Amino acid sequence: MKRYILLFLVFTAISGYAQNSINNYKYVVVPEKFNFLKQKDQYKLNTLAKMFMEEKGFTAYFDNADLPAEIAGNRCNALNLDVQEKNGMFTTNLTVLLKDCKGNVVFKSKEGKSREKEYNTSYNMALRDAFTSLNDVQYAYNGNIQQAVATTQPATVAVAVPAAVVATPVKEVSVSAAIPVVKQAEGTLYAQSTSTGYQLIDTTPKKVLTLFKTSQQDYFIADNGISNGVAFKKNEEWFFEYYKDAKLISEKLLIKF
């Protein structure tokens, strides 16, 4: 019985370490293509994953980019992001993994799910759902990456890290609490219906924004070709919100459907 209790305590300690050792890393490398997809950045999932990691406070790079010397000289200085898909008949199921340079899983998200029929919308919503797991993890880079990489005895590290977590029970502020930088509408946009939602065009005419339907009325996943975010109706006004340089931007929209 004592043996089983000891194994349980060690497993619990290691699990705590896996969820919190992301603090040892400043950088994360995102692949330009996930294995379960056929094209690079298909459905904008890779861009979306990179954006979420930057919102969390990491410095993120695509694996095809020119990496800084700190990473290029030692890939163990960065986490590697991966997304795995579990086949489902009526649902899209995605799980986010953060791995160290040896392939050890440092963080594993819950299984994000979506029942949307359109692939673009379904994959986006499932990935967003999976990334909500990061809301439960406090991230603050502690500069201990070299010590973490050099460690070869996980059980020893596991005993120390949870103690630090208990000593600093700071609850992470949710994204919804962020104060946005508001931009006024620049002109009327005209909505053209598509199979997945709408495309908004100006008087040029030029496509300004693509809206993807969700299960919520007057709430869309939005993409302007540079930034991914959400578009929604509030107090009879439309807004497009996204993150840029770790700041929440809220653009007012004048839409004519």
On whether the CB atoms of residues 135 and 110 are closer than 8 A, the answer is no
Alpha helices in the chain (DSSP H): 2-20, 45-56, 69-72, 119-131, 145-150, 154-167
Which pLDDT score, from 0 to 100, does residue 231 have? 93
**Mean residue pLDDT across the chain:** 80
pLDDT bin (cut points 50, 70, 90) of residue 14 is very low
pLDDT bin (cut points 50, 70, 90) of residue 6 is very low
Mean pLDDT of 93-99: 96
CA distances from 64 to 27, 55, 74, 173 (A): 15, 21, 16, 32
pLDDT at 217 over 70: yes
In degrees, to the nearest 5, what angle opens at C-alpha 165 toward C-alphas 163 and 23? 120
On whether the CB atoms of residues 114 and 65 are closer than 8 A, the answer is no
Which pLDDT score, from 0 to 100, does residue 1 have? 52
The model's pLDDT over 203-216, given as tens digits with 9 standing for 90+, comes to 887 888 999 998 88
Which pLDDT score, from 0 to 100, does residue 184 have? 85
- Using only the alpha carbons of the chain, give its radius of gyration: 21
d(CA 251, CA 184): 6
Which pLDDT score, from 0 to 100, does residue 57 have? 92
Phi, psi of 170 (to 5 degrees): -90, 125
Which pLDDT score, from 0 to 100, does residue 156 have? 41
d(CA 159, CA 155): 6
Three-state secondary-structure class, residue 246: coil
User: Residue 166 gets which letter from DSSP?
Assistant: H
Which pLDDT score, from 0 to 100, does residue 145 have? 62
For the chain, list the domains and their CATH numbers.
2-172 (3.40.50), 178-256 (no CATH)
Higher pLDDT among residues 99 and 177, named by residue: 99
The model's pLDDT over 134-173, given as tens digits with 9 standing for 90+, comes to 988 889 898 776 544 444 344 444 444 444 444 444 444 4
d(CA 46, CA 30): 7
pLDDT at 92 over 70: yes
Tokens of residue 171, six digits: 């609850």
pLDDT at 7 over 90: no
Quick one: angle between helices 45-56 and 119-131, nearest 10?
Answer: 20
Nearest to 36 by CA among 89, 109, 95: 95
